[in-house]
Chains A and B, each alone.
Chain A
Amino acid sequence: GAGVSQSPRYKVAKRGQDVALRCDPISGHVSLFWYQQALGQGPEFLTYFQNEAQLDKSGLPSDRFFAERPEGSVSTLKIQRTQQEDSAVYLCASRYQETQYFGPGTRLLVL
Chain B
Amino acid sequence: RKEVEQDPGPFNVPEGATVAFNCTYSNSASQSFFWYRQDCRKEPKLLMSVYSSGNEDGRFTAQLNRASQYISLLIRDSKLSDSATYLCVVRRNEKLTFGTGTRLTIIP
Contacts and interface: CB of A to CB of B under 8 A. Distances in A.
Given A45-B97, A48-B95, A105 B49 contact: no
B94 A43 contact: no
Dominant SS among interface residues on chain A = strand
A103 interface: yes
A24 to B, nearest CB: 14
Interface residues of B, number: 20
A6 B94 CA distance: 21
A103 to B, nearest CB: 6
Counting contact residues on chain A (CB < 8 A from B), the size range is 20 to 34
Given A91-B43, A104-B43, A105-B43, A56 B94 contact: yes
Dominant SS among interface residues on chain B = strand
B43 A100 contact: no
Contacts of B45: 102
B75 interface: no
Contact of B98 (A44, A56, A98, A99): A44
Contacts of A50: 94
A42 B87 contact: yes
Interface string A4-34: 0000000000000000000000000001010
Given A42-B101, A43-B44, A102-B44, A33 B49 contact: no
B94 A48 contact: yes
A5 B101 CA distance: 24
11 contacts: A40-B100, A41-B101, A42-B89, A42-B98, A42-B99, A43-B44, A43-B98, A48-B95, A98-B91, A102-B45, A103-B43
Interface of A: 31, 33, 40-45, 48, 50, 55-56, 59, 91, 98-100, 102-105
